[in-house]
Amino acid sequence: MKAIAYQQFGTTEVLQMLEQPKPAITSDQVLVKIKAFSINPMDWKIRKGEMKLMSGSRFPKNTGADFAGIIEKTGSSATGHSVGDKVFGVVKNLMKEGASAEYVAVPASLIWKKPEALSFAQAASLPVVGTAAVTAVEKMGKVNPESRILINGATGGFGMILLQLLKQRGAHITAVTSTKGAEYAKKWEAAEVIDYTKGHMLSQKNTYDIVVDLSGKMGYTTAKKMMKPKSIFINPTPQPVEIPLALLANLFTSKKHIVLLSNSESRYTEVLLDAVSKGLDIVINTVFPFTQFREAYQYAEQGGYVGKVVMEISDNA
Ligand SMILES: NC(=O)c1ccc[n+]([C@@H]2O[C@H](COP(=O)([O-])OP(=O)(O)OC[C@H]3O[C@@H](n4cnc5c(N)ncnc54)[C@H](OP(=O)(O)O)[C@@H]3O)[C@@H](O)[C@H]2O)c1
């Protein structure tokens, strides 16, 4: 089968189309013929060697974590799924495996039936950012219309889901976006929209119960100034040193620094599927064909778009 992989850490230049054996499945796994997989910032952080401690340095490495496709084979104990089912899912070890191939073998517990209302591209976009968004909502505790929440980077993959999940819970959201994102943030009913490209300063002191930084550029020190005395900062892009430091610092402050590390538990996907049934909007900015993998990653890494970038594999890839 064809797979997008790399043999060394580096820029998009290291990506190659390789011929690999079709994966064999164990009894608890299913073999999925991939129709689409989504691109996440984690893909290029791993590829650039920024997460070596977790990804290891063994090559070749495939890329891409979440996918949608059609079941081609099921293991003897992989119950609940049948050959021909349209599904979406995520690889088991996000740091060491990749879905950037014509087939992937995954545990049956990490795939779910694709809702009819979603395209393969939309379903492939859901697991990584969706479970992260549900985890973030869980970390927030009780959210109500009085909760003042700032989402910095509100219309990327993660932000688009988080903003809508929080609106379904009635929260008051301030969305920070680029100009392109502003109309979407309004459509998803953010109470206030701030365009960061226009140099609008986030200077409101003592305003927010919760600040979520999805840009990776704000940091706790900046966020703290805008936070109420009893509040939380959610950080899904921590530097390794921040993980223990945040835990320690939280013992001495009521402005908590919460490092977010999500995982793909089924209960999170159930929340997402419920949100989909209530009209969750999953915006796909661009779909690239499998053969244009380098262009796709270059485009995604550059940023400046709303929603997700996805790669599709046609039958004659
Ligand atoms: N810890 C976890 O478990 C976990 C899980 C999933 C994701 N993440 C991380 O969470 C982050 C967000 O993920 P994502 O998939 O949403 O990435 P994304 O689609 O690239 O979104 C990032 C957003 O930040 C915005 N942004 C860039 N510069 C900004 C600035 N100076 N001020 C405000 N906003 C700015 C971007 O807007 P423009 O592009 O329009 O400029 C974009 O909307 C990534 O770093 C990802 O690795 C962590």
Residue 199, pLDDT > 80, answer no
Taking the CA of residue 307 as reference, the ligand 1 atom at the shortest distance is: 19
Cis peptide before 60 (omega within 30 of 0): yes
Percentage with pLDDT > 70 across the chain: 99
pLDDT at 174: 96
Query: Ligand 1 center to residue 109 CA distance, Å?
Result: 28
pLDDT at 39: 98
Taking the CA of residue 41 as reference, the ligand 1 atom at the shortest distance is: 47
- From residue 194, give the alpha-carbon distance in Å to each of 179, 191, 246: 9, 10, 28
- The mean of the pLDDT values for the chain is 96
pLDDT at 316: 67
Per-position b or e across 221-258, b if 16+ CB within 10 A of its CB: eebeebbeeebbbbbbbbeeebeeebeeeeeeeebbbb
**Whether the CB of 44 sits within 6 Å of ligand 1:** no
Taking the CA of residue 128 as reference, the ligand 1 atom at the shortest distance is: 6
Query: Ligand 1 center to residue 68 CA distance, Å?
Result: 22
Residue 109, pLDDT > 70, answer yes
Residue 202, pLDDT > 80, answer no
Phi and psi, residue 309, nearest 5°: -110, 135
**Whether the CB of 132 sits within 6 Å of ligand 1:** yes
Please state the length of the chain: 317
Return d(Cα 170, Cα 221) in angstroms, integer.
Answer: 28
Query: Ligand 1 center to residue 287 CA distance, Å?
Result: 19
pLDDT at 201: 63
Return d(Cα 186, Cα 276) in angstroms, integer.
Answer: 19
**Whether the CB of 129 sits within 6 Å of ligand 1:** yes
**Whether the CB of 181 sits within 6 Å of ligand 1:** yes
Say which range, 110-119, 220-229, 260-269, has the weakest mean pLDDT: 260-269
Query: Ligand 1 center to residue 228 CA distance, Å?
Result: 24
Domains of the chain are 2-126+283-312 (3.90.180.10), 129-259 (3.40.50.720)
pLDDT at 126: 97
Taking the CA of residue 260 as reference, the ligand 1 atom at the shortest distance is: 1
Cα angle 95, 269, 211; round to 5: 75
Percentage with pLDDT > 90 across the chain: 93
Among 156, 146, 157, 206, which residue's Cα sits nearest to residue 176?
Answer: 156
Residues linked to residue 6 through DSSP beta bridges, in sequence order: 61
pLDDT at 315: 84
